[in-house]
Amino acid sequence: MSKDKKKKQPDPEKKLMDEIEQNTVPEEKPVPENSENTEAETEPAENSLQQELDQANAKVAEYLSMAQRIQADFENFRKRNENVRSDAYADGKKDVAAAMLPVLDNLERAVEAASGSEDESLKNGVALVLKQMIEVYQKLEVSPINRLGEKFDPNLENAILQGAPEDGEPGTVCQVLQKGYRMGDKVLRHAMVKVVPE
């Protein structure tokens, strides 16, 4: 029996050796390099990568060009819009100033009519309103066209009457029937004048 027991019990050294063999990873055998196959495989890969890089660079250049065009278009739009806005503001200012000219004319007439009145408060009140109106026009850079005695200019005046030769030199303005006004170098209203014939 003891012999049988010995046979049945595995040898501890053998057991340890078996475990080591089972847990050991087999060594990888180096694959002999075949230089022709490796070069043949890498060339198409390099060509493919180069093509992809070229395509990506072309896309980048296209997008950059598009972005630059869009930026230039936006700058042009911004400048155009700025000009349109400033022109619209100037035109609006001009239109309001021109629309208020009859009010200014009537205030001047009221001051003339009130000068014969004995009511000082009426004269002072109308004169004060006229003064305020003139100040507003000065802020808007509106000025009267005063060319009495000067050579007639059709760009600034409308000749509606002809004066007598003794009224002044030929071709000159001898009487202003209605004042003209300008805003800067733009005429708001032409002066209505009487001109000495030539």
pLDDT tens digit sequence for 155-177: 999 999 998 888 888 999 999 99
* pLDDT of residue 90 exceeding 90: no
Tens of pLDDT, residue by residue over 29-84, are 555 555 555 565 667 778 888 899 999 999 999 999 999 999 999 999 999 999 99
The angle at the Cα of 197, spanning 192 to 198, to the nearest 5 degrees, equals 130
Does residue 180 register a pLDDT over 90?
yes
Superfamily of domain covering 143-198: Head domain of nucleotide exchange factor GrpE (2.30.22.10)
* Better pLDDT: 178 or 14: 178
Each residue of 93-140: pLDDT tens digit?
Answer: 999 999 999 999 999 999 998 888 888 888 899 999 999 999 999 999
Spatial CA neighbour of 162 closest among 127, 196, 121: 196
Place of tokens 């059709």: 154
Tokens 């595995």 belong to 10
Q: Determine the pLDDT at residue 38.
A: 57
